[in-house]
Chain A
Amino acid sequence: MEEMKKWMVLGIGVLLLMGSCVEDFIGGDGVQGCMQELSPDTSLPELLDLYQGEPLALEAHQIKVQVVSSDREGNHFGVLVVQDGDRGPGLQILLDMQDSHLQYPPGTWILLTTEGLYLDKTNSGYKLGTAMPVFGTLSLGRIPSRKTGEYLKPACGAPAEVVPKEVTIEELKDSMINTLLRISAVQIITDGNPATLGSEEEDTRQVLENCEGATVELHIGKFTDFNMDPIPDGKGSVTGILKKDGKSYVIHPSTRTEIDLLAPRCSSGPGDPEDVPVEEEPEGTIAMPVLISEIADPDNAPEARFIELYNAGSEEVSLQGWKLLRYTNANTEAGAATVLDDLSISPGGVLVIAAEAEGFASVYGKPAGMVGGKNSAAGSNGDDNIVLIDPEGEIRDIFGRIGEDGSGTDHEFEDGRALRKEGVMQPNPVFDPLEWSIFNDTGAEGTIKEVKIAPGDFSPGSH
């Protein structure tokens, strides 16, 4: 009996020991995180000074630089452009990493470790990459994806703001190459160009001119997301990285929004005055330039929803025969029509259509120009599409895209506001989100995540 007990105790002891014994074979921690503090030992200009005219194998340097380009919309590919604060020139880092904007969004400060990399300079500026012998000549290759994190260590926290340097075309110079610039008061020469910004077959160079006639090229790559967008027919600013091709300067924007050409074109530009539409009034459209100027869905007061129409012309417009249609959600048939007969808008004036008379009056302290009803265009909850129809039954102006539910798109204004940008003086029968400032509760697709509270955040009655 004693012996049996001994066996049992021994047996159970060994059993429990084995049952709980688990080995751990885990290897090293391979995580590449961010850096709390960047401690450079060399500045970018100092590094670039080392270049002697041949591809240069770099020693170990630590350089602090800021990212100024983005490959998000495809106009920069396989490259990350960095610069030292607002000093030029900048540097192109050749990367194999796809979607590098996710790891290195514009504005990110990074500590660049150069050991094992090569520096070279071509007509288009300084480049950094790995060695790549091509037929016995040393050239530069892209840094392999999974190695990027060892050469480019990002600082922790949100990226800093990137402020492009404001320049004119006349001021462009080689020391600005590979830096972020903003050139204002320019327009795209449209003469003889295709109607789109770029093409899917080949890279496109548009020509930007200012009202004084100076020009610079604008690069739109064939893999760019916005290359099939129509050429913006206005004047404004273009932001991008300056490069040089031969003797010409070329500006490479990272995103579509960096091509901000909404203001009227130069009044007597040297390019092609007969093509400048603001000078003449094409049939019908400009005669009665009534457009949707504001749509409101206050987060705090659904009863204070409204829609505002604006007369951008110099003459009073009668709205006899005009209608506002609401296409609810993804519906392809209009759900409600607001008839605007007997109303008119004075030059520079607005018409405010409220969803509910009492709700509007109590929130904004004044009556609306007319009441459309909860189901009308004025009562939209932010994911509907709204169309302004003229007496001919033609679409005069549109907000959103018929058949597309606004939720999560670039025309959602749920709990927010859609405001026509200043400078937009014509209605547009094709929805262009760039003409609008759109606030909502999601911030999707280039809209701004910011709920709006009535009455303070809205301006019914003035535009």
Chain B
Amino acid sequence: MRILILFLLMAMWVQAQEVLLVGIVKDSLDGKPVRNATLQCSEHSRIFHSNNKGSFSASLQAPSCQLEIAAEGYRTQLMVAGEGNSFLQVALIPETLSMEDWENESFRTGGQAYLGSGRSLFLRRVAFDLGQAFYRPRGLDGREQLVLLNGFPMNHPGFGRAQWSDWGGLNDVSRSQEVAYGLKHAIYPLYGLLGNTAISTDPLTHRPGLRITSSYSNRSYRGRLMLTYTNSAEDQVVSYTVSGSTRHGRQGYIEGTPYEAWSSFMGVNLKINQWTDMKFFAFYTHQDRGRSAPVTEEVTSLLGRVYNPYWGIDGGALRNSRMRTSYGPILQGILGSETPTFTWKIGAAWQRSIKADSRLTNIHAPSMDPVYYRYLPSYHSEHPVFPNRYNALISRESLLANPQVDWTAMRRANDSPILAGKAAYLLLEDVVESTRWWGRGEFSLYMGRWIFHAGIAFLENKLLEYARIEDLLGSTFHEDLNPFDGYSYDMEGPIEKMEGDKINYHLLVGSSGWNTSASVEYKTGSWQVAASYTGDFRKDHRKGFFRNEANQQNSLGEEEPFQASTGLYRLSVEFSPNLRHHLSFTALAGTRHPRLYSRWRDHKQHDRRSEYTDPEAVEGVQFRYSYKASQFQGNCTVYSSRVQELPIPRSFYAETGIGNDFYRLIQGRTTMRYQGLEVDLGYEWVSGFKVNAVVAYGMPHFDNDPTIELYVDTLPEKAVYSGVAALQDEPLGNGPQRAISLGIEYRDPRYWFIGTTFNYLSGAHLHPAILRRTSIFTEHPGSIASPSTMNESVSRQLPAITLTNLVFGKSYLKGSTYVGIFVSINNLFDLQFASGGFEQERKSEQGAWLEDIAGGRPLFGPKYWMGNGRTIFLNLSLSLR
């Protein structure tokens, strides 16, 4: 209490130091007020907004500053504020055409998390150029970034990453994104090492009127149509936006990848009084898309970069065996008030989302994967005992003539009288039905040089998971037994399952808990210090609906919940001696919960928990220097962080020193080190002509030798192998980690622009095969060398990638009607590249592995994800006011 009084006294004292600034923002052409313009003194100070009448009031900590005024659809303007200039009249020039606008419409190339990051050159490059080659900022997983949709955290409890498809296609309304990258201070809860992206879909952030956008692309969808209507006017109590979009295509750049999606949105803002408003948002999205597969070098060399083994013709139509379907609504309601000195918000949200991934299963029947190792030429040519080049030629011929999934053969097999209706092949779906509830409250107090922020949130997640028979492919039933050991998956249900029945596993995992966060900031003219804390209490539990024969006592029913508390801390110090230089130092440390799926050894089959119950530890520091002059600006960041993570267990078939089996791999705490440098430089040579450069140098490495345990289905209680994987100092399996991007852009006053970037990326590594780095690899009597010598001879590094991208745009403005056309071409020179991949675990016994690689064309060599060749994106938009 005493501290609070002290704070208040200090706040009253510093209140006197600040300068109050008022003003109005107008459109320079028609003189109409521009609302929701953002006003900010420096990159790091508080943001103020203009109201419906275009007017604003802001309090400055410094006696004067260079005020940046930005609004959607207008050119950003800089003005000196303060020093006697306490009333500002700002006339913003409409931006009929901008790179940012193009970027907002553009096709996401993988760096979607930074789409709205219009202000940072580095993040723009990540989103639109480097992301194409699966460059990940700092080498970190997407789980390190907290994504908030209207303030509600959207990261998936199981995987940790946000599911952007939950609001996919609604680009018009999710354009307003506030990004705090890396360890940068922000008022949002602490979560990971990549900061946060806060998306706002408030109708007041959208331009009034109708907007129609149509796009053509050959990247994933072919056509997109998007319509958005916003109704809001001065002094209007109710403002609203409705938006809808469809995306569709028979296939994208990769063969046989159909795409069918539609999305809808409604947002309402109810003005209660000058300060207070109430907002409601409803989203519904539906997406079906065909997936593509990573393949070996042999397959790409035979069938090309666009080859996809997942599809085939069934009943005369293209059918992809691995469809990803996701759909569901999100409802949100927020009540909040914002005054210059105090803001508060309370809100509640609900989401239901259904995600289903289909796949083919063969039961005592041969694989139907057209590029299964037994069907490839190398199976014959590299046979250790009887190599047969004739057969290699024949398989090559047959693969080239018939490279797709043979649905008819599966139906024929299922029709066999021997099976008497039992399925040898079926298409199943792995389904996750998730239901999430949020409740939250927060406030910010602005007291002169002090800003206090605190929030509390309740979050409940329920993930109902099961496999479901989608198509019996002509058979009449499926015998729901583990084909390897004959155990029943569902002892208390019928063994024979029909279409639509749940099979294999059926359970619910959930978490619920409280998240509390608080931050305090103190500013002087040139210094800013901020400290934040986020505490998280979580309760995890599992409830099984199937009694699994291999785990009779541990599969059915509810287990005791597991609960834990974690805490993350951050300290940030910033120093701006003048408007040109800015220095910041940030450090973050603490603990957090492992992803929900890491809690159990095999949550789909039983409730035995991973023995690693301690929370994960993260720590990181970053130092940043920014320089800003009229023609030149640049930023340089040096970072170093360490993450101690509990990987999600996985299963695979492997040949090891202790036998061939389906193994469940539990990898214990794995420490990873991320260190590197990020630089961006921009120079406006002459008016409208800009050159810029981005350099990133990262070195993500393993920082320990994680423990490894292997389990088999038939013996779930006891590990059949325990050991450690020699991974210390090995590079992480990741996309490119070193990048140089050079760009030139020219913007003509006659409403057209052209830009090009040249990008060079290197340092991508395959994900390492874990078992090959353990003693199990050499346990076989036939083995001759130690694992370290074996692995040194095999580099996991992928070749460097060169990408050239081109963008062109032209727009027209007639009265209040705006038409814009943008074209972008990625990978202009159509160069082939692999953006990442992984070593297969199959040959995890030294003798078998040596035999496999001996001929130089291994059957179980690495699999690669192939990047797109030359692709085009064409966008046409029309706005009517």
Using a CB–CB cutoff of 8 Å, the interface residues on chain A facing chain B are: 3-4, 7-8, 11-12, 14-16, 18-27, 29-34, 70, 72, 96-99, 101-103, 105-106, 116, 130-134, 141-147, 149-150, 154, 158-159, 330, 405, 407-408, 442-444, 449
Contact = CB atoms under 8 A, between A and B. Distances in A.
B814 A3 contact: yes
Contacts of A31: 312-313, 406-408
A14 B212 CA distance: 11
A14 B876 contact: yes
Which one of A19, A30, A116 has the highest number of Cβ atoms from chain B below 10 Å of its Cβ? Answer: A19
Nearest to B407: A31
A173 to B, nearest CB: 30
22 contacts: A7-B817, A7-B819, A14-B876, A15-B876, A18-B214, A19-B225, A20-B223, A22-B223, A23-B250, A31-B313, A32-B406, A32-B409, A33-B408, A34-B412, A98-B374, A99-B424, A132-B391, A133-B390, A149-B409, A330-B491, A407-B494, A444-B420
B364 A141 contact: no
A144 to B, nearest CB: 4
B418 interface: yes
Interface string B486-522: 0000010011100000000000000000000000000
A15 B495 contact: no
Interface string B420-441: 1110100000000000000000
Contacts of A159: 417
B387 to A, nearest CB: 9
B222 A23 contact: yes
Which one of B246, B256, B370, B878 has the highest number of Cβ atoms from chain A below 10 Å of its Cβ? Answer: B878
Given A102-B365, A444-B479, A8 B878 contact: yes
Nearest to B495: A408
B856 interface: no
B200 interface: no
A101 B249 CA distance: 39
A329 to B, nearest CB: 10
Interface in B528-556: none
B80 interface: no
Contacts of A330: 491
A99 B876 contact: no
Contacts of B223: 18-22
B404 A30 contact: yes
B225 A99 contact: no
Interface string B346-381: 000000000000000000111000100011000010
Contacts of B364: 99
Contacts of B403: 30
A330 B549 CA distance: 12
Is the interface on chain B under 10, 10 to 19, 20 to 34, or 35 or more residues? 35 or more
A330 B491 CA distance: 9
B420 A131 contact: no
A330 B407 CA distance: 38
Interface string B470-498: 00000001010000000000010011100
Contact of A132 (B214, B218, B386, B416): B386
Contacts of B495: 407-408
Interface of B: 212-216, 218, 222-225, 246, 248-251, 255-256, 312-313, 316, 318, 364-366, 370, 374-375, 380, 386, 388, 390-391, 394-395, 397-399, 401-404, 406-409, 412-413, 416-422, 424, 477, 479, 491, 494-496, 812, 814-815, 817, 819, 874, 876, 878, 880
A20 B416 CA distance: 43
Contacts of B375: 144-146
A16 B743 CA distance: 33
Given A19-B246, A144-B394, A149-B406, 19 more contacts: A7-B812, A7-B819, A11-B878, A15-B212, A21-B222, A30-B403, A30-B406, A31-B312, A32-B409, A33-B412, A72-B418, A98-B374, A99-B366, A103-B412, A130-B388, A141-B388, A144-B375, A145-B375, A444-B496
Given A26-B318, A133-B390, A96 B374 contact: yes
Contacts of A18: 214-216, 223, 874, 876
A-B pairs, top 5 by smallest CB distance, nearest first, are: A19-B225, A102-B413, A408-B495, A15-B214, A147-B398
User: DSSP majority for the B interface?
Assistant: mixed
A96 B375 CA distance: 9
B862 to A, nearest CB: 23
Nearest to B422: A444
A280 to B, nearest CB: 39
Contacts of A97: 366
Given A21-B222, A23-B222, A70 B413 contact: no
A150 B397 CA distance: 11
Contact of B250 (A24, A443, A449): A24
Contact of A12 (B370, B390, B391, B878): B878
A158 B419 CA distance: 12
Contacts of A33: 408, 412
Given A134-B386, A144-B394, A11 B366 contact: no
Contacts of A4: 814-815, 817
A97 B815 CA distance: 70
Given A330-B491, A443-B420, A144 B214 contact: no
Given A141-B388, A150-B398, A15 B366 contact: no
B521 to A, nearest CB: 47
B214 A19 contact: yes
A101 B402 contact: no
A103 B413 contact: yes
A264 to B, nearest CB: 31
A306 B407 CA distance: 46
A405 B480 CA distance: 14
Given A11-B876, A18-B215, A141-B388, A105 B417 contact: yes
A15 B225 contact: yes
Nearest to A15: B214
Nearest to A5: B817
Nearest to B814: A4
Which one of B394, B402, B491 has the highest number of Cβ atoms from chain A below 10 Å of its Cβ? Answer: B394
B661 to A, nearest CB: 17
B402 A144 contact: no
A4 B812 CA distance: 11
Contacts of A8: 817, 878, 880
Contacts of B399: 146
A18 B247 CA distance: 12
Nearest to B212: A15
Contacts of B224: 19
Contacts of A449: 420-421
A98 B366 contact: yes
Nearest to B250: A24
Given A4-B817, A15-B876, A32 B417 contact: no
Contacts of A29: 313, 316
A105 to B, nearest CB: 5
A147 B390 CA distance: 13
A190 B250 CA distance: 65
A11 B878 CA distance: 7
A144 B383 CA distance: 13
A19 B255 CA distance: 21
Contact of A25 (B212, B250, B391, B819): B250
Contacts of B218: 23
Contact of B424 (A26, A102, A444): A102
Given A15-B225, A22-B222, A141 B366 contact: no
Contact of B248 (A22, A99, A130, A132): A22
A60 B224 CA distance: 52
Given A3-B814, A134-B386, A25 B255 contact: yes
A102 B386 contact: no
A25 B312 CA distance: 13
A144 B248 CA distance: 38
A392 to B, nearest CB: 33
Nearest to B317: A26
A116 B390 CA distance: 10
B366 A145 contact: yes
